[in-house]
Structures are given as C-alpha cells and as structure tokens.
Amino acid sequence: MRHLLSTDELSLEEAILVLDTAAQMAATQSREIKKLPTLRGRTVVNLFFEDSTRTRISFETAAKRLSADVINFSAKGSSVSKGESLKDTALTLHAMGADAVVVRHWASGAPHQLAHSGWLGSADNPVAVLNAGDGTHQHPTQALLDAFTIRRHLVGRVGGAGGDGVGRDLAGLKVAVVGDVLHSRVARSNVRLLRTLGAQVTLVAPPTLLPVGVETWPCTTSYDLDETLAHGQPDAVMMLRVQRERMSGGAGAFFPSPLEYSRRYGLDHRRLAMLPAHTVVMHPGPMNRGLEISAEAADSPRSVIVEQVANGVAVRMAALYLLLAGDSSAEGSSI
C-alpha cells in the first residue's frame, strides 16, 4: 500500500487485510502498555483544512500508539490563511521530512492531487497520503471502522464465525444507511466498501437528500424508513448527520422543518422496536440528538456509536502500519 484515498480502489483482499490488521491492533490496546515501537522515527503530519476534533485526535492517537512523531497542522492561523497554496504547503511538509500526510480538505479530490502531483516525496522517498475526508467525496477510514464494527458484532452471529470475524467478509448482511446522503462522504465510502465486502446496502432519505445519479450506485434506495426497517430487517442501521453547514439556502431548502425530518427519518423508540434483536445502531458522529437520532436510540444497549470511536483508533493504526511498515511488495499500489 502506498496511499489510502478511496474505498473505490480497495479490493476485497485489501479490505479484509486492513480489517484483520485492525483486529490485531485492537488486541494490543487492551494491554497495560498500549504503545508499539512499529513506527519509531517516522513522522506523520495531520494536515487539516476543515474543522475536526474526533478524526484528527483519532489519527493523532493512532500514530502515537505506533510511536510515530506527530505534527498537527491546521489551516486556521497558518500560512494557508495568508494565501499559501496547497502545492507550497505540500512542498514545505516534504522539506521537513514527513513520511505520511493525513489530509482533510473541503475540496473533493485534494488528497488525490497531493498523492499524485509529485509535490510530496519522490520515487526513492515516497510520502504516504491518507484521506481523512475530502468535500462530499470520500472518507475511507470511517467506512473501514464502520465495517470493522459491523464485522465484530454480526459476522460471528450471522455467519457462524468465531471471535471478531477475522478473515471474513460481510456477505449476507443487510445495512440501512439513513439520512443526508447528498452531502455525506461517509455514505459514499460505505456504499462502495460494504458492497465490496458482500453486504447489501439500502439508502433511505427524502428525494431532496439523494444525489443525482444515485441509481448507478451498487445499492438500493428508499424514501420510506418505516418500510425499510419493517420489511428489510437490516442487521445494521447507520444514521447520518444532517449537514446543515453544507446546505446552500439552509436546511429549509431540503426538508420542511426539523420536526418533519425527525418524524419521517429519525430513529426513535418506536423504530428501535421494529428492529431485529441483533441489529446494531451506528452513527459516524457528531450526532444531532433529537433530529436524525433520539437520545434513547443513541444511548440504547444496541448502539455501538461509542465503540465506533474506539475502533477508529485501531483501524487508523492498521492503515498507518500498512502504509509505512507493511509488505514492500505492495509498493506502488494506491488504495
């Protein structure tokens, strides 16, 4: 592995490799001493052009648990706010000796540009690029941690595997992804990855929050959440945040009112009761409690939302390990 940019480019074998490596990383985090010497002497830069708390801290924790040196770079208060281009920022980071750059950017395609422009590294000294979210395009590590969480909870139950499903895919599982699909890079990443792993995905949203061309995606769509839960009987329900900050014209341009949205597409006590006993409730965070998910649903025993955060560290440790210390025979691949 050289880069992790998109779930579109992950093969089944590569996806399972990341998940299995994450399982090994997660096992080390139950020890008294959680730190591993794997990336000692390597430098990881968190390059964030968008506000983020949990993703940046998760990547920082993952890198430090692998003994890497971590530099946090925020666009606010930096030379970027003075007009510095992405290219000049990349050249500066390369000059400082970065081994990997974790980038979050408001523009879709920015991580791909960094990875393939030649601004970072060289053929003799490549710099790995990890996409931590670009516009409404992709967020691969979020999709991987979601798949990891689903596999740990459901593969043993449905597929008859032991442990946390190491070596297994998600074939036969049904996942409902509900909410603001239009603005969600999480939804786009999950649809591709879950399909690669063999799961059946249904997107549930009002027509105004489904993107143009969604019919070409490898999933089914529905406008009716109650019907999907009652008749589809999903194994996992993933609620998406309503991203009002990305809605030009405000949320009112996409649905009549927050109350109406919550009534039609929110996960509440009544809808929880419709789910099979083994179904897990997920959310990429941060949550809008009372809008896309009620407090009762978010805090219910079937909710794995907090566990997703913990699993995110293990998955990002796995990604950094495979990019910076993995099998050299994979050099040159971009996944």
Three-state SS across the chain? CCEECCHHHCCHHHHHHHHHHHHHHHHHCCCCCCCCCCCCCCEEEEEECCCCCHHHHHHHHHHHHCCCEEEEEECCCCHHHHCCCHHHHHHHHHHCCCCEEEEEECCCCHHHHHHHCCCCCCCCCCCEEEEEEECCCECHHHHHHHHHHHHHHHHHHHHCCCCCCCCCCCCCCEEEEECCCCCCHHHHHHHHHHHHCCCEEEEECCHHHCCCCHHHCCCEEECCHHHHHHHHCCCEEEECCCCHHHCCCCHHHCCCCHHHHHHHHCECHHHHCCCCCCCEEECCCCCCECCCECHHHHCCCCECHHHHHHHHHHHHHHHHHHHHHCCHHHCCCEC
Which pLDDT does position 60 carry in this prediction?
Answer: 97
Radius of gyration over every alpha carbon of the chain, rounded to an integer in angstroms: 20
pLDDT tens-place values along the chain, 335 residues long? 789 999 999 999 999 999 999 999 999 988 888 999 999 999 999 999 988 889 999 999 999 999 999 999 877 655 565 567 888 888 988 888 899 999 999 999 999 999 998 888 776 778 999 999 999 999 999 999 999 999 999 986 544 445 578 889 999 999 999 999 999 999 999 999 999 999 999 999 999 999 999 999 999 999 999 999 999 999 999 999 998 766 655 556 788 888 999 999 999 999 999 999 999 999 999 999 999 999 999 999 999 999 999 999 999 999 999 999 875 434 444 44
Known binding site for carbamoyl phosphate: residues?
54-55, 104, 139, 142, 285-286
Compute φ and ψ for 262, nearest 5 degrees: -65, -40
Spatial distance between the Cα atoms of 44 and 316, rounded to a whole number of angstroms: 12
Q: Where are the domains of the chain?
A: 3-137+310-326, 142-305
Which pLDDT does position 330 carry in this prediction?
Answer: 42
Spatial distance between the Cα atoms of 308 and 45, rounded to a whole number of angstroms: 23
- The superfamily CATH assigns to domain 142-305 is Aspartate/ornithine carbamoyltransferase (3.40.50.1370)
Q: Comparing 3-137+310-326 with 142-305, is the CATH topology the same? A: yes
Known binding site: residues?
54-55, 82, 104, 139, 142, 185, 241, 285-286
Which pLDDT does position 247 carry in this prediction?
Answer: 63
Known binding site for L-aspartate: residues?
82, 185, 241
Which pLDDT does position 51 carry in this prediction?
Answer: 82
Which pLDDT does position 251 carry in this prediction?
Answer: 58
Residue 113 token pair = 């540009």
Answer whether 313's CB lies under 8 Å from 36's CB. no
Answer whether 305's CB lies under 8 Å from 287's CB. yes
Domain 3-137+310-326 in this protein, CATH class: alpha beta
Answer whether 111's CB lies under 8 Å from 5's CB. yes
